Amino acid sequence: MSDTTQLPAFIGALDRASEWFGRSLAWLIIIMMLIQFAIVLLRYAFSVNSIFMQELVMYMHATVFMLAAAYTFRHDGHVRVDIFYRGMTPRRQALINVVGIITLLIPVMIFIIASSLGYVANSWRILETSSDYGGIPAVYALKTLIPLFAVLMIVQGVIEIVRNGYVMAGRIVPSAAGGNHLEERV
């Protein structure tokens, strides 16, 4: 069964939405690769250069990197230096996860939101455009990814707090696959 079956309905729905959103963003990588291939082909085969296409690849890369971070977090795909963590029991790992989310992840994400709002608002106020002729006239949209990234990380952090709380309570247990993939306790 899915690990969202034991989570509260709203949290389970957020978790499924996070999964769907992350998988959807993966398609952007394929589109980005095709556009990059077209850029190289146009430049070296036809001596044609497109600032717009180059910036489009940059925008897509930023979008995938910033917005898929929560999906990566959901799947325990972030970098972890686990000298002690690996040998701990699932309940102790869950406790470490909750403490880390509450004391590190959420405060840092709140700081990112607070420190980027003025920066993003100024960009929207002037409808900031590319400094390069022919570039994408929506730098403000690119900068909006910064606080959006932080919001998505906070939402995923709350989901993980609940999920790990359920692990500590014995309501769900980590699967043999490891990571945050959890199974319903029978």
Whole-model pTM: value is 0.87
Alpha-carbon gap, residue 176 to 131, rounded angstroms = 51
User: What b/e string do you get for 48-75 counting C-beta neighbours within 10 Å, with b at 16 or more?
Assistant: eeeeebbbbbebbeebbebbbbbbebbe
Contacts of 34-38 with C-beta under 8 Å, sequence gap 24+, read: 35/60
pLDDT score recorded for residue 53:
96
Domain boundaries, the chain: 9-184
| Paired tokens of 185 | 């306790």
Contact criterion met (CB below 8 Å) for 146 and 119: yes
Residue type, 153: M
| pLDDT per position as a tens digit, 19-47 | 999 999 999 999 999 999 999 999 999 99
Who wins on pLDDT, 4 or 47? 47
Residue 183's beta-bridge partner residues? Answer: 173
> Looking at the predicted structure, is the pLDDT value of residue 182 above 60?
no
- How confident is the model over 38-66, as a mean pLDDT? 96
> Looking at the predicted structure, is the pLDDT value of residue 11 above 80?
yes
Question: Where do we find the tokens 């004391």?
Answer: 103
> Looking at the predicted structure, is the pLDDT value of residue 58 above 60?
yes
Contact criterion met (CB below 8 Å) for 143 and 117: no
Of 2-16, 105-119, 136-150, 152-166, the poorest mean pLDDT is in 2-16
Alpha-carbon gap, residue 137 to 141, rounded angstroms = 9
Averaged confidence pLDDT in the chain: 90
> Looking at the predicted structure, is the pLDDT value of residue 109 above 80?
yes
